[in-house]
Amino acid sequence: MEARPRTSVAGPAPAAGRKRSPYPSWFYLPAAIVYAVLFLVPTVTSFYFSLTRWSIFDSQFIGFDNYVTFFREPALVSGLWHTVVYAVITSGLKVVLGLGLAVLLTSQIIGRGYLRSVVFFPVLVSTIGVGLTFTILLDPEEGLVNESLALIGIQGPGWLTDPSFALVSVALVDVWKGVGLATLIYIAGIVSIPQEYFEAARVDGATAWQNFRKIVLPLARPATFTVILLSLIGGLRSFDLIWAMTRGGPGFTSDVIASVIYKQYQAGFYGLSTAGNVVLFLLVTAIIFPLSRYLNSKEVDL
């Protein structure tokens, strides 16, 4: 692994009364090296490469042409919208369902252990495995979902082949797969609420709904923030489930920015795909940083 230099590279600590801090800054160093070399350097160089025409054999500086081209990309405008829709649906449902399930799974209910495990189980299956399975279950003609609907007299839509359903269908599968983690975070949040609150509420004769409204909801707020941030970041950045299930189709109707970028990479337009990455990075930052500040400012102490 990395060498551990004996001298501190951090320079003098501001509050330094002691000669050596028990919390030396060189503890940052091993992680910093890995992070800088494999994450920061590529991120910074990507700004340069996004200004070049780059086939794998050579690169040529072309200014901002790639950005112009990327914004003219037909799939991009719809892709921006799809990205936001996808991120909002997935994170919204994960918050609502995750909280609901967590309340249910911390209440007195038969088979609680079984339910907790079964809700979390999809988290363990790989995205590709989930994608393959649901592509088959959602097949418009012979998929289990539509065959079951047919039994009760409903003609199911082409979940993944109908332009108006494809994106939402994939988002729902994403929720199916990810709600377990959201539930887990909420369970942890609810469990850490001190019992005195509930005791006091019981003495006051509060109903279950009042308990939820006045105690669980406000005190589980940090968990809500974690769930929102993690699933929103995931929803904005990821495309692997979309790629496994629809490849952005039919046509461009379930393309998100990340899948548009991947297609440019596939086509061998490396400079263009890198420019797309920079755009995505700016978009995610523009949404997440303010949101994160806002959520932190509303943080409640237990």
Per-residue tokens: 231: 């699933």
Q: Where are the beta strands (DSSP E) in the chain?
A: 52-55, 58-61
Q: What is the smallest separation between the CB atom of 158 and another protein, expressed in angstroms?
A: 6
- CA atoms of 49 and 99, how far apart (whole Å): 43
Note whether 20 binds another protein by CB under 8 A: yes
The nearer residue to another protein, 88 or 172, going by C-beta atoms, is 172
Note whether 218 binds another protein by CB under 8 A: no
Q: What is the smallest separation between the CB atom of 122 and another protein, expressed in angstroms?
A: 7
Backbone angles phi, psi at 54, to 5 degrees: -130, 100
**Strand duo 58-61 + 52-55: pairing:** antiparallel
Note whether 10 binds another protein by CB under 8 A: yes
Judged by CB under 8 A, which of 67, 197, 198, 212 binds another protein? 198
Note whether 135 binds another protein by CB under 8 A: yes
- CA atoms of 29 and 173, how far apart (whole Å): 40
Judged by CB under 8 A, which of 7, 155, 195, 207 binds another protein? 195
Q: Are 169 and 242 in contact (CB under 8 A)?
A: no
The nearer residue to another protein, 72 or 153, going by C-beta atoms, is 72
Judged by CB under 8 A, which of 191, 203, 297, 300 binds another protein? 191
Report, in angstroms and rounded to the nearest whole number, the Rg of the chain calculated over CA atoms.
24
Judged by CB under 8 A, which of 17, 19, 110, 155 binds another protein? 110
- CA atoms of 239 and 87, how far apart (whole Å): 11
List binders of another protein among 35-74 (CB under 8 A): 35, 37-43, 45-46, 49, 53-57, 60, 65, 69, 72-74
Give me the residue label for tokens 């892709």: 79
Per-residue tokens: 32: 């910093």
Judged by CB under 8 A, which of 128, 154, 200, 217 binds another protein? 128
Note whether 3 binds another protein by CB under 8 A: no
Q: Are 269 and 67 in contact (CB under 8 A)?
A: no
Note whether 210 binds another protein by CB under 8 A: no
Contact flags string 231-270 toward another protein, x per CB under 8 A: --x---x--x--xxx-xxxxxxx----x----x-xxxxxx
- CA atoms of 297 and 292, how far apart (whole Å): 9
Q: Are 114 and 120 in contact (CB under 8 A)?
A: no
Note whether 204 binds another protein by CB under 8 A: no
Which residues lie across from 60 on neighbouring strands? 53
The nearer residue to another protein, 210 or 285, going by C-beta atoms, is 285
Q: What is the smallest separation between the CB atom of 67 and another protein, expressed in angstroms?
A: 13
HEC readout, 261-294: HHHHHHCCCHHHHHHHHHHHHHHHHHHHHHHHHH
Note whether 274 binds another protein by CB under 8 A: yes
Judged by CB under 8 A, which of 124, 151, 203, 300 binds another protein? 124
Q: Which of 233, 257, 254 is nearest to 245 (CA)?
A: 254
Judged by CB under 8 A, which of 85, 126, 154, 298 binds another protein? 126
Q: What is the smallest separation between the CB atom of 31 and another protein, expressed in angstroms?
A: 4
